[in-house]
């Protein structure tokens, strides 16, 4: 059991390091965090129950996608800094994931507010 908790502690440390590194190096991540602060604050003020949970969860999903996009970009750059069509496609797909998750959050806001 002690080994489990030691490994859990390491995972938390590594995850926090990834958040810190991304916060420090990625303007887009910081922008999405602040957008989530505003969106989450409005959601807490205006919504309750399942609607509140949906908006908060979709906001977190956007942050998750931005973290994955950052990981893809860094891995591609590690392999080669040369221009490559496959590298462009990988990076664009990661960016598209962020966009689609942000659209989902926007659609949820519209659905909740229009009801």
Domain residue spans of the chain = 27-114
What DSSP designation does 81 have?
Answer: -
Residue 115 has pLDDT above 90, yes or no: no
The per-residue pLDDT for 81 is 84
The per-residue pLDDT for 61 is 98
Average pLDDT over residues 38-53: 97
The per-residue pLDDT for 46 is 97
The per-residue pLDDT for 37 is 98
CA dist., res. 56 & res. 48, Å (int): 11
The per-residue pLDDT for 97 is 98
Average pLDDT of every residue of the chain = 97
CA dist., res. 17 & res. 4, Å (int): 20
Written as six digits, the tokens of 73 are: 């970009």
Average pLDDT over residues 45-57: 97
Percent of the chain with pLDDT over 70: 100
66 included as an active-site residue: yes
**Catalytic hit among 66, 73, 82, 85:** 66
pLDDT per residue as tens digits for the range 72-92: 999 999 998 899 999 999 999
- How many Cα neighbours within 13 Å face the side chain of 1? 0
Q: Are 31 and 62 in contact (CB under 8 A)?
A: no
The fold of the 27-114 domain, in CATH, is Helix Hairpins (1.10.287)
CA dist., res. 101 & res. 95, Å (int): 10
* DSSP labels, 43-59: HHHH--HHHHHHHHHHH
């Amino acid at each position: 059991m002690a080994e489990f908790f030691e490994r859990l502690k390491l995972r938390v440390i590594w995850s926090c390091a990834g958040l810190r590194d991304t916060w420090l190096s990625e303007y887009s991540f910081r922008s999405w965090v602040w957008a989530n602060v505003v969106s989450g604050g409005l959601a807490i003020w205006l919504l309750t129950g399942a609607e509140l949970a949906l908006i908060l969860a979709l906001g977190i999903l956007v942050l998750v996608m931005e973290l994955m996009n950052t990981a893809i970009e860094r891995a591609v750059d590690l392999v080669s800094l040369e221009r490559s069509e496959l590298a462009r496609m990988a990076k664009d797909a990661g960016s598209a994931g962020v966009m689609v998750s942000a659209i989902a959050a926007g659609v949820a806001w519209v659905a909740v507010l229009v009801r």
